[in-house]
Amino acid sequence: MQKIIAKPSVIRHLNKLRWLVLATVFSILVLLPFLHLYQTYAAAHAYDLLYPHEKLIYDSMEWLTSPFVSDAEQDLDAIKGTTWSGSLFGLQLSDPLAVLSQISASLSIYWPFLLTALIPLAVTVVLGRVFCGWICPATFIYELNDTLAGWLRRAGVPLGDKEFDKRLKYLVLAVGLLVSMLLGSIVTAAIYPPAIIGRELYYAIAQGGFGVGAVFFILTILFDLLVARRGFCRYVCPGGALYSLLGRYRLLRIQRIVSKCNDCQKCNVVCEFGLDPLRDGFGQECNNCTACIAVCPTDALEFKIAVKDIPYQGPGHLGHDYRRAQKDEAES
Amino acid sequence: MFIQALIGTALIQSWPQVQAANQPSFRFVRPPGSLAEDDFLSKCIHCGKCGETCPNRCIKYLGMENGIESLDTPYIVPREQACILCMKCGDVCPTGAIESIPREAEPILEKVCMGKARVDRSLCLSWQGKTCGVCYRACPLQDVAIRIGRLEQPHVLEQCVGCGLCERSCIQIPQAIRIIPSHSRRQKV
């Protein structure tokens, strides 16, 4: 009997790094409205007139930022916005979907805005749907929600696990752009969770209450929980659709090394997007989230530089099917 | 409790009739430097950066009360909190929906057109013979946008950009001076 010992490798820990990045992005989105409030309090120069809870915000934000900024009112303008469109120390970054929607709504190109989407665009073309897995603040919530769903299932709560056609989201993208064009307003922003989360967190903290988007977002969470696992990202999200299309010929891909695979199916179970790593079925929707790499007991999944997935390589060489086939061949 | 409050507020906000009932005459202006309404809506990506930068916290965001087109777009109600013409929102706007305008009198007068103030003489204290002049003193563009005559009676001039500081500061209830929103750019003569 061949002994399987997983070699310690660095890429197995990328999934933890990914979680760290997701949590950081989300906490920055929570922090920014507080920083904005602190800025306005600082600009008003009236500390004595603040309510106790406002003083608390002022003091804690001052404590947090005083090592880095000298003039809170001006210097804290360095980080503004959300993942939908934000500025980071003078660098403006925007979601390619925002640019595409603006072009379709106004039927003209506003070049300064188009340029802000170039870096995300280049990253997507090279690394694929990497925003979805590594940055998107909605993914953070959806993955926690998925973990919760796992616990509920284990406790015996019947939850839906329906499957739809994954191409539905391309239709949503097309319809969203078409409606944007007809209404002359960017409606994709209202159905795109990362844009909603950034906005709603800001509304809730700095504007005194959640807006309409929060209801939509809660509906998507319930959809994920009760109807289809990670259903929104898989079947509906217009941004995910755009990124999938852009990342179709990405350079960095996860590939299965058939000689190490033992057909354990853990990768298929853990895959958030319902892909099929076990049969080399990654496709354009893989977001390089590395969850399958982290869970693989034999280190059979690795990053490769290639423009195309390799076709199905047959059962893994460490699995029963392959060994039985080998035995049959030897006997005959 | 939290979830209930959340769903409650959101449902109420998303219900146009409720909103209309709460605010029978909803009158707002767009942030300074905004394009004409149609252009503005087709450019704005609803990112919320203008509000997040506003040091005066006057920029708020629409729910469903003005239709799905203007969901999550910025607005200012001058009586609640008026614009101080700091022009930071135009600087951060990535989309060109709010134009970047330097904070100087000349370009502001030329390009900003949020609305125009109008005095209701039957409500105005000065026009009723009780010398007031608060609106004139609140105006950041004194003698260019607003002028006072006998008994501090205000006269709004052509150059008014509609920032709303006069409406915000009016001591009458209801206010005697109001911004009539233009939702369009200043037409150059």
ipTM of the complex: 0.82
CB contact under 8 A, A199 and B53: no
**Rounded to the nearest 5 degrees, what angle is found at the Cα of A310, between the Cα atoms of A306 and A311?**
160
- Segment (H or E) for A79: strand A79-81
Q: What is the pLDDT of residues B138-188, one digit of tens each?
A: 999 999 999 998 889 999 998 899 999 999 999 998 999 999 988 755 443
Q: What is the pLDDT of residues B98-146, one digit of tens each?
A: 999 999 999 999 888 898 999 999 999 999 989 998 999 999 999 999 9
Cβ neighbors of B76 (< 8 A, separation 6 or more) are: B28, B29, B30, B31, B58, B59, B60, B82, B83, B114, B164
At A197, list the tokens: 């989360």
- Model confidence at B38, pLDDT cuts 50, 70, 90, reads confident
SS3 A93: strand
Residue B187: predicted pLDDT: 44
Name the minimum distance, in Å, from the CA of A122 to any CA of chain B.
19
In chain B, residues with a C-beta closer than 8 Å to the C-beta of A206 are: 51-52, 57
Q: Does A238 touch chain B (CB under 8 A)?
A: no
Which one of A203, A205, A217 makes the best mutation probe of the B interface by having the most chain B beta carbons within 10 Å? A203
β-pair partners for A276? A281
Give which of A17, A18, A10, A66 is closest to A38, Cα–Cα.
Answer: A66
Residue B186: predicted pLDDT: 47
CB contact under 8 A, B38 and A210: no
Residue B69: predicted pLDDT: 83
Give which of B53, B51, B50, B85 is closest to B163, Cα–Cα.
Answer: B85
Nearest CA in chain A to B50: A81
Q: Does B151 touch chain A (CB under 8 A)?
A: no
Backbone angles phi, psi at B154, to 5 degrees: -75, 140
SS3 A74: helix
Tally helices (H) and strands (E) across chain A.
16, 5
Of B11, B42, B53, the CB nearest to A106: B42
Chain A residues 10-39 with CB within 8 Å of chain B: 32-33, 36, 39
Q: Does B10 touch chain A (CB under 8 A)?
A: yes
Q: How large is the greatest C-alpha to C-alpha distance in chain B, in angstroms?
A: 58
Strand order through the sheet with A85-88 = A79-81, A85-88, A91-94
Residue A305: predicted pLDDT: 87
Q: Does A118 touch chain B (CB under 8 A)?
A: no
SS3 B112: coil
Integer Cα distance of A5 and A151 in angstroms: 29
Q: Does B51 touch chain A (CB under 8 A)?
A: yes
Nearest CA in chain B to A199: B48
Whether a cis peptide bond, with omega within 30° of 0, leads into B174 is: yes
Residue B10: predicted pLDDT: 67
In chain A, residues with a C-beta closer than 8 Å to the C-beta of B100 are: none
Integer Cα distance of A286 and A253 in angstroms: 8
SS3 B81: coil
Backbone angles phi, psi at B115, to 5 degrees: 170, -165
- Going through chain B in order, the beta strands assigned E by DSSP cover 60-61, 74-75, 115-119, 146-148, 154-156, 177-181
HSE, side-chain direction, 13 A CA sphere, residue A48: 0
Q: Can you say whether the dihedral through the CA atoms of A64, A68, A73, A75 is positive or negative?
A: negative
User: What pTM was computed for the model?
Assistant: 0.86
What does DSSP assign to residue B29?
Answer: B
Residue B23: predicted pLDDT: 45
Q: Does B13 touch chain A (CB under 8 A)?
A: yes
Nearest CA in chain B to A87: B92
In chain B, residues with a C-beta closer than 8 Å to the C-beta of A39 are: 55
In chain B, residues with a C-beta closer than 8 Å to the C-beta of A110 are: 43, 95-96
Residue A70: predicted pLDDT: 84
Torsion angle (degrees, nearest 10) of CA A169, B47, B63, A29: 90
Q: Does B64 touch chain A (CB under 8 A)?
A: yes
Which one of B52, B62, B81 makes the best mutation probe of the A interface by having the most chain A beta carbons within 10 Å? B52
Work out the angle between the directed axes of helices A14-44 and A52-65 (0-180°, nearest 10). Answer: 120
Q: Does B22 touch chain A (CB under 8 A)?
A: no
- What letters, b where the CB count within 10 A reaches 16 and e where it falls short, cover A90-127? eebbbbbbbbbbbbbbbeeebeebbebbeebbebbeeb
Cβ neighbors of A157 (< 8 A, separation 6 or more) are: none
Q: Does B100 touch chain A (CB under 8 A)?
A: no
Q: What is the pLDDT of residues B48-65, one digit of tens each?
A: 999 999 999 999 998 887
CB contact under 8 A, B52 and A36: yes
Give which of A298, A250, A252, A291 is closest to A274, Cα–Cα.
Answer: A291
Name the minimum distance, in Å, from the CA of A153 to any CA of chain B.
23
Q: Does A81 touch chain B (CB under 8 A)?
A: yes
HSE, side-chain direction, 13 A CA sphere, residue A132: 29
Q: Does A199 touch chain B (CB under 8 A)?
A: yes
User: Checking DSSP bridges between strand B146-148 and strand B154-156, what pairing results, if any?
Assistant: antiparallel
What does DSSP assign to residue A310?
Answer: P
Residue B151: predicted pLDDT: 87
Q: What secondary structure, in 3-state letters, does A240-291 show?
A: HHHHHHHCCCCCEEEEECCCCCCCCCHHHHHCCCCCEHHHCECHHHCCCCCH
- What letters, b where the CB count within 10 A reaches 16 and e where it falls short, cover A24-39? ebbebbebbbbbbbbb
Question: Which residues in chain A show pLDDT less than 50?
Answer: 1-3, 5
